Amino acid sequence: MAGKSKTTIHDIASKLNITASTVSRALNNNPRISETTKKAVQKAAKQLGYQPNNIAAALRHGRSHIIGIIVPTADRTFFASVVRGVEEIANKIGYKVIICQSYDNYNTEVQTVDALLSARVDGIIASIGKNTEDFSHYKRAQEKLPLLLFDRTTDKLEVSQVVIDDFLGGYKITEHLIEQGCRRIAHFTSSKKVSIYKERLRGYTEALKDHGIPFDQALVVESNMQLEDGRTSMEALLKLDQLPDAVFSASDYGAMGAMQVLKERKIRIPQEVALAGFMNEPFTSFSDPPLTTVDQLSISMGNVAAELFFEQLKAGDKKHLPQRTVLKPEIIIRQSSLKRDYAKDDKEQQEGYISLKA
């Protein structure tokens, strides 16, 4: 930490009796510089322990080769994976990524956007905080640099975005449960009016409708969808006159809470109640039984977001319309929903289906 190397292109220049501009060009592999000089410059640079100063370069040509990414928190699996995906791409083309956490706090988010603008990042990739309702900070950002939103977005901003098709996820997994013979499918959703949950719910209802199963409001339970909420919601369902034969929770945590309660009550999964979540949290493959869920393709989401972002960055001021990329989620079928597999062994259970069908 002592001898902060102060070697600049001028040092290289004077060592070689040339000017700094030549050194700069040589280092940037400018075709106007002869191979001999380039070689000499590179050699001298190495000898002197020269380390380019990106800050000076950034100041000079107005690009920092740094982008900012804003996530609610960096340690939630989903966001961590997206960050990974973004960094992967950015790194490949010589960009660095500044990571910022909004903690779902509006003021923090606003400050963060400003801090990134001041840091002169070349662009921002963000997932909006839960409580954000005013988007003027993003609008401000958008006036100055490329902005791209992922996962949690808004239609109040004309901005490119990458999201997954929550409707499709909800639809496909509900359909899967129906195919497994379930007819009374409960759904855990969020009490918050967040679009991703609304879409999952819509997928659920639509799938029911398409398969001629009546929608029953009593089977839709609202909560915050954490583990504890999942327990509470499941207990509420158990008090109904007629038990559901499946639960599709819009969050894996909710599904795990339900699983715990069911196991405590010795209700068999999936024979009596099939279970499905949403998100493909790492723990879902370790639960007993492993949980059927919807994969969010989080790393790809980061990749795709970064690719789309850099496309726009390169396009520069050339008008490019905001682009919306919708990723198709994949359903991960695991044991918790495979009711069919047990149907043969389980006469009683099967009769249950039949009577319901009648």
* List of residues contacting DNA (CB under 7 A): 6, 8-10, 13, 17-22, 24-25, 27-28, 32-34, 36-37, 50, 52-53, 56-57, 59-62
Which element (helix H / strand E) includes 56? helix 54-61
Cα 6 versus chain centre, distance: 41
Residues between 270 and 309 with contacts to a copy of itself, criterion CB under 8 A = 281-283, 285-288, 298-299
Candidates 27, 99, 194, 333; binder of a copy of itself (CB under 8 A) is: 99
Give the Å distances, CA to CA, from 99 to 75, 103, 107, 214: 12, 12, 17, 46
**By CB under 8 A, residue 61 contacts a copy of itself:** no
Q: Which range, of 19-27, 142-150, 188-196, 209-217, touches a copy of itself by CB under 8 A?
A: 142-150
**Residue 29, both tokens:** 């592999």
80 binds a copy of itself (CB under 8 A): yes
Both tokens assigned to 261: 């309660």
CB of 127 to DNA, least distance (A): 29
Nearer to a copy of itself, 163 or 256 (CB): 256
- Whether residue 247 contacts residue 187, with contact meaning beta carbons closer than 8 Å, is answered with yes
Query: Considering CB distances under 5 to 8 angstroms, the limit depending on partner class, which of a copy of itself, DNA, none binds residue 163?
Result: none
**Does residue 194 bind a copy of itself (CB under 8 A)?**
no
Residues binding a copy of itself: what is the number (CB under 8 A)? 58
> Is residue 325 near a copy of itself by the rule CB under 8 A?
no
- Are β-strands 185-190 and 147-150 bridged in parallel, bridged antiparallel, or unpaired? unpaired
Joined together, the tokens standing for residue 161 give 């975005």
Q: Cβ-count burial of 27 within 10 angstroms (0-12 exposed, 13-18 middle, 19+ buried)?
A: middle
Q: Which of 83, 186, 250, 327 lies at the binding interface for a copy of itself (CB under 8 A)?
A: 83
Binding mask 147-176 for a copy of itself (x = CB under 8 A): x-----------------------------
CA triple 325-148-88, angle to 5 deg: 85
- For every residue of 65-83, DSSP letters joined together read SEEEEEES-TTSHHHHHHH
* Separation CA 152–CA 305 (nearest Å): 13
- 268 near a copy of itself (CB under 8 A): no
* Residue 25 contacts which entry, a copy of itself, DNA, none (Cβ below 5-8 A, type-dependent): DNA
Q: Which of 249, 334, 240 is nearest to 292 (CA)?
A: 334
Asked if 59 touches a copy of itself (CB under 8 A), the answer is yes
Q: List strand residue ranges (DSSP E) for 218-273, in order.
A: 220-223, 246-249
Binding of residue 54 to a copy of itself (CB under 8 A)? yes
Interface ranges with a copy of itself (CB under 8 A): 1-5, 51-56, 58-59, 64, 66, 73-77, 80-81, 83-84, 87-88, 91, 96-101, 114-120, 142-147, 256, 263, 281-283, 285-288, 298-299, 317
